[in-house]
């Protein structure tokens, strides 16, 4: 799984993982935690790979704690059949949107949204979490650090058996 940011107001800007880098006695490390950030211009790209044979039922999950003010996000499926190189990913080169999966309203209650998808071994599944077009300007600003193993707040994929 990988997480990366793109900015439609800075079309060729590539976000690096420098935001999470920390200096230790052993040198600079870049942990598995990745920043999820959604604003009017910044969206977050999530990339998953279906790796288990016979586990061709996938579920995409979005789990978010309560928010101070309601915000509507849009979740898109992107057209990618090979892994996206996040070291060169910018808005200009991100895969095109092929489907809007849902408008997701974050509010005063915790949210555990999910959608079932079919996936076969070695499928690359890429999604974009962005502000909804219906969201008033300036109202959309969501941010969290997604830890590799945490399930909230998080966007994650679960594979289930086809039998």
pLDDT tens digit string along 55-99?
889 999 999 999 888 899 999 999 998 999 988 999 999 999 999
| Residues constituting the chain | 163
pLDDT in tens, 112-131: 999 999 998 889 999 999 99
In this prediction the pTM is 0.88
Mean pLDDT of the chain: 88
The per-residue DSSP string of the chain comes to -EEEEEETTSTT----GGGG-EEETTEEE--S-EEEEEESSEEEEEEEE---TT--EEEEEEEE---SS-EEEEEEEE--SS---TTS--GGGSPPEEEEEEEEEE-SS-EEEEEEEE--TT-EEEEEEEE-TTSPTT--EEEEEE-SS--SSEEEEEEE---
Contact in structure between 113 and 61 (CB atoms under 8 Å): yes
On the question of pLDDT at 21 being above 70, the answer is: no
- pLDDT at 45 (0 to 100): 96
- pLDDT at 163 (0 to 100): 73
- pLDDT at 111 (0 to 100): 92
Query: Lowest-confidence range among 24-33, 98-107, 120-129?
Result: 24-33
- pLDDT at 116 (0 to 100): 95
More confident residue, 133 or 78: 78
- pLDDT at 1 (0 to 100): 78
CA distance 149 to 98: 29
Question: The dihedral of CA 97, 84, 3, 120: what is its sign?
Answer: positive
Answer whether the bond into residue 144 is a cis peptide, omega within 30°.
Answer: no
């Amino acid at each position: 799984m990988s997480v990366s940011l793109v900015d439609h107001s800075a079309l060729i800007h590539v976000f690096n993982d420098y935001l999470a880098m920390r200096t230790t006695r052993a040198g600079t490390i870049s942990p598995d935690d990745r920043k999820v950030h959604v604003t009017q211009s910044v969206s977050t790209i999530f990339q998953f790979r279906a790796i288990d044979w016979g586990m061709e039922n996938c579920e995409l999950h979005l789990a978010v704690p309560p928010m101070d003010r309601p915000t509507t996000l849009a979740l898109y499926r992107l057209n990618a059949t090979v892994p996206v190189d996040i070291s060169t990913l910018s808005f200009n080169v991100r895969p095109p949107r092929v489907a809007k999966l849902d408008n997701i309203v974050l509010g005063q209650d915790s949210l555990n949204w999910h959608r079932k998808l079919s996936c076969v071994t070695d499928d690359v599944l890429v999604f974009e979490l962005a502000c909804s077009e219906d969201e008033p300007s300036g109202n959309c600003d969501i941010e969290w650090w997604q830890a590799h193993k945490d399930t909230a707040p998080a966007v994650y994929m679960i594979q289930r058996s086809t039998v």
